[in-house]
Amino acid sequence: MVALPLSALIVRAPWSSLPHDLHQREAATALRLSLETSLGALAVSALLGVPLAWVLARRRFPGRAAVRALVMLPMVLPPVVGGIALLYAFGRRGVAGRVLFALTGWRLVFNTSGAILAEAFVAMPFLVVTAEAAFRSMDRRTEEAAATLGAGPGYRFRRVTLPAVAPALAAGAALGWARALGEFGATITFAGNFPGTTQTTPLLIYLDIESGHDGTALALSLLLLAVSLAVLVGLRDRWLGSP
Amino acid sequence: MRSPPRLVVAAVAAVLLPLAACSSSSSSSTTPPTAGAAATGATTTTAAALTGALNVFAAASLTTAFNAARSTLTAANPGFSVTYDFGGSNALVAQIQQGAPADVFASADDANMQKLVTAGLVGSPVTFARNKLEIAVAAGNPKQISGLADLAKPGITVILEAVGVPAGDYTRGVLATKGITVEPKSLETDVKSAVAKVTSGEADATVVYATDVAAAGSKVVGVPIPDADQPSITYPIAVVKATKNPTAAQAFVDSAVSGAIQKALEASGFLPPQ
């Protein structure tokens, strides 16, 4: 079921015109924007997600299971539903959006920051899930040893904990980044569609297929497929081999 | 460092789920390509009757009128049913070119219909309706927009339709003719989603058809564009050659030109085809 569509994509692709298609201005703009927004989404996810994962792993509090479920929700929520939810929260009339707009005049909808938010929304669960598992399962004795040697909590976190969970964080980050790169439903619903600002690669692929520009759409699809495969190959030891 | 098995399953599922979830087209049908447009062989007969099932692909601006027409037609013709696929005309053209099972295609401009004529996928088109452009703004017109020139004012969030979508192309033509430079914040895939952005408060203004403004009722206010500035907006309709129901398809086209469907169109604010 997975192999057939993917091989059909590879077979039908316009290999001879690939470099030309990818160099079209719209394609190049969309690729640059996608890189910018997916990395931005990764940064937001890491900044918010790693501390959250640490709290979920190390602290007991009432409702912890509910918080964990909430964090994982974007993983299973249909992306367009996520987009609608983001609109109601951060749109111009949204619960938080109107406050943001009143205080700063800043808008997320129709802005690159909106695209970053939409992508972070779907990418963060990947980071939090892998980070929390890593925080839970790491050997706490190294932290305790550092504490007995006089290291403060900040130092311990930076020099002992983070390096210990770094491989897991990298894996979660790679997955989250790939997910952010491919995000479509929430982006087009919440952030809008304009070249250079919010028209990320998946949006351009959709619009090109819709308007009959198959060449560019297929070329971009192949590129994203190659990136996805690269991520999976890079992570194969984590999923298939021994950790 | 061990990953709990549960986590592996969850993460593998999480990788596969986005692959499955991230598709979604706004129109309802995406079908695998059929091998060429095989004509059904039978020529159309006179006294075309509305029987059987029809798939009509129609520009989004025709939604209200065609839906209203469906009730009339199915009541008057037992055994007849019609399903609609509404969307931007360019998206529908792409679907038909890929072999989507349309019986009739109604476009919001001649340029899109012409693509199918050139490809030999449709019969001769006929014009069945005309329309006008109108600016749609939020209820109450808080930004006090009075005409196209106001769309270029700073601080107004304007959205238009994407390139290839008839409403967007018509609008850009008018703006170019009048020398007004508008920088849209987003390019929507059809008129309905543009109106939705205005009713939800995300955009201050968009340019759609007068019929879309009427269809949105009290949620939007229409700012008319003078007749002198209006482009010539004509809607062509044609039978798709690969139709499995050519008699009903032709009857549908006839009704759109001068029958029950034409009445529904005029009730929605469309202008008659002459």
Q: Which of chain A's residues have a Cβ under 8 Å away from the Cβ of B187?
A: 193-194
Does the CB of A212 have a partner CB in chain B at under 8 Å? Answer: yes
Q: How much of chain A exceeds pLDDT 90, in percent?
A: 51
Give the mean model confidence (pLDDT) for residues A56-80: 92
pLDDT at residue number B5: 54
pLDDT score for A71: 92
Q: Give the pLDDT mean for B52-79.
A: 95
Task: Identify whether residues B61 and B105 lie together within a single domain.
Answer: yes
* Mean of the per-residue pLDDT values of chain A: 88
Residue count of chain A, please give it: 243
Whether B22 maps to a domain, the answer reads no
Same domain assignment for residues B215 and B239: no
pTM: 0.80
* Number of CB atoms found within 10 A of residue B174's CB: 17
pLDDT exceeds cutoff 50 at A30? yes
Please spell the DSSP secondary structure of A20-31, one letter per residue: HHHHSHHHHHHH
Domain-embedded: residue B239: yes
Mean pLDDT of B106-111: 95
Model confidence at B27, pLDDT cuts 50, 70, 90, reads very low
pLDDT at B35 over 50: no
Assess if residue B98 is contained within a domain: yes
Q: Among residues of chain B, what percentage have pLDDT more than 90?
A: 78
Is the predicted pLDDT of residue B43 greater than 60, yes or no? no
Among the residue ranges A15-29, A40-54, B87-101, B245-259, the one predicted with the least confidence is A15-29
pLDDT of residue A112 exceeding 90, the answer is yes
Query: So what's the pLDDT on residue B214?
Result: 94
Q: Does residue B69 register a pLDDT over 60?
A: yes
Pairing of strands B158-161, B205-209: parallel
What SS3 class is residue B110? helix
Q: Is residue B40 part of a domain?
A: no
CA–CA separation, B15 vs A67, rounded Å?
22
Domain that holds residue B157: 133-229
Output the pLDDT for position B6.
57
Mean pLDDT of B170-175: 96
pLDDT at A82: 92
Task: Please provide residue A237's backbone torsions phi and psi, each rounded to the nearest 5 degrees.
Answer: -65, -30
B138 and B125 in a common domain: no
Cβ–Cβ contact B178 with A under 8 A: no
For the segment A75-104, the average pLDDT, to the nearest whole number, is: 90
Q: How far is A194 from chain B (nearest CA, A)?
A: 5
Does residue B163 sit in the same domain as residue B115? Answer: no
- Mean pLDDT of the A125-135 span: 93
Topology of the domain comprising A27-239: MetI-like fold (1.10.3720)
Q: How far is CA A37 from the centre of its chain?
A: 9
pLDDT in tens, B72-107: 999 999 999 999 999 999 999 999 998 999 999 999
- Please tell me if residue A101 touches chain B, with a CB cutoff of 8 Å: no
Closest CA to A136 of B1, B10, B11: B1
Phi then psi for residue A160, to 5 deg, are -115, -55
Same domain, yes or no: B92 and B210: no
> What does the CA dihedral B218, B221, B226, B232 come to, rounded to 10 degrees?
-60
Token pair listed for B215: 């269809």
Same domain, B263 and B138: no
Residue B150 pLDDT > 50: yes
Residues B167 and B253 in one domain: no
Give the integer Cα–Cα distance in Å for B91 and B93: 5
At A211 the pLDDT is: 80
- Chain B residues with beta carbon closer than 8 angstroms to that of A211: 90-91, 94, 162-164
**Is residue B156 scored above 60 in pLDDT?**
yes
Question: Span B37-45, mean pLDDT?
Answer: 41
Q: Which residue has the tokens 């229409």?
A: B222
B15 contacts in A (CB within 8 Å)?
Answer: 175, 232
Considering the domain architecture, whether residues B177 and B214 belong to the same structural domain is answered as: yes
- Tell me the residue type at B195: V
Is the CB of residue B108 less than 8 Å from the CB of residue B250? no
- Shortest CB distance from B91 goes to which of A78, A87, A210? A210
Per the structure, the count of domains in chain B is 2
Measured CA to CA, the distance from residue B209 to residue B133 in angstroms comes to: 4
Q: Directed axis angle between helix A79-90 and helix A97-104, to 10°?
A: 50
Residue B111 domain-assigned (yes or no):
yes
Tell me, yes or no, whether B69 lies in a domain: yes
- Residue B107 shares a structural domain with residue B195: no
What digits encode the pLDDT tens for the residues B2-15?
Answer: 545 555 555 555 55
Answer whether residue B16 shows pLDDT above 60.
no
The chain-wide mean pLDDT, for chain B, equals 86
Residue B152 belongs to domain with CATH number: 3.40.190.10
Q: Does B2 touch chain A (CB under 8 A)?
A: yes
- A187 secondary structure, DSSP code: I
Q: What pLDDT does B168 receive?
A: 95
Q: Residue A233's pLDDT is what?
A: 86
Using one digit for the tens of pLDDT, what is the confidence trace for B176-187?
999 999 999 999
Cα distances (angstroms) measured from residue B242 to each of B39, B92, B105, B117, B118 = 5, 15, 12, 13, 15
Determine the Cα–Cα distance for residues B242 and B246; give it in Å rounded to an integer: 9
Asked if the Cβ–Cβ distance from B91 to A79 is below 8 Å, we say no
3-state class of B129 per DSSP? strand
Residue in the block written with tokens 């989603």: B193
What three-state secondary structure class fits B226? Answer: coil
As a residue count, chain B comes to: 274
**Based on the domain organization, do B154 and B98 belong to the same domain?**
no
pLDDT for the residue B48: 57
Residue B37 reports pLDDT greater than 50: no
CB-neighbour burial class of residue A188 (10 A; exposed 0-12, middle 13-18, buried 19+): buried
Q: Per-residue pLDDT for A148 more than 60?
A: yes
Q: Are residues B212 and B184 in the same domain?
A: yes
User: Looking at the structure, do residues B108 and B225 belong to the same domain, yes or no?
Assistant: no
